[in-house]
Structure 1
């Protein structure tokens, strides 16, 4: 091992707003004090249950990915496991997500800054 993942950082226009979107989606604390970085209008964080940290940095001339346009690739996306796709969809749409595609076991959305993420149906342990 060379290192340990500190956080995942997403570019956006409005870091605080996107941090609150993901806190509602995944749970966790927005802008919890952490000695690893400062928090201001340019940077926001969400400490999600389990220890992972998502960070959001302001980019003045931010241009979101254009899923599924290969000329403007998605760069990365998050898969979020849920027990009930329909119930989870209603909640993320109410938070400001945009539905882009439906499949039988997963759905693709854009967050308020245009980053794609998927809700995937949880599989029961057999």
Structure 2
């Protein structure tokens, strides 16, 4: 029997409301705001939470001398269509050159890396 279950995945960022809006547009869900904390309640998945972090410095990817800290793998039906949508939402491509792979790497507006993965 497990000791615990995932309650939330929490991302530090400079603007919790803006980053929650980005992910809500990307994966759906309901945004619930508090003062310096915003939850995104995702249907069928764990809560994504966003907290204000003064002096926030985004991870660097790829950088063997600096940790990327974590990343999200997001499954999509069509990589090309999903790529157009995430770029329109404000994501930045990090590693998208090799179109033969089943994943592509992007950064969200606060600089956290995430992958779109073929489902």
Moved over 2 A (4+): none
1:117 aligns with 2:114: yes
Q: Distance in 1 between matches of 2:93 and 2:85?
A: 12
1:106 aligns with 2:100: no
1:11 aligns with: 12
Q: Distance in 2 between matches of 1:94 and 1:64?
A: 20
Query: 1:55 Cα shift?
Result: 0.2
TM (norm. structure 1) is 0.88
Which digits, 9 at most, give the CA deviation of each residue in 1:19-65, with x for residues without a partner? 01001111100117xxxxxx11x111100010410000000010110
Q: Distance in 1 between matches of 2:85 and 2:77?
A: 13
Q: Distance in 1 between matches of 2:116 and 2:18?
A: 20
TM (norm. structure 2) is 0.93
Q: Distance in 2 between matches of 1:31 and 1:46?
A: 6
Aligned pairs, number: 115
Q: Distance in 2 between matches of 1:89 and 1:30?
A: 23
Q: Distance in 1 between matches of 2:4 and 2:102?
A: 34
SS at match of 2:51: strand
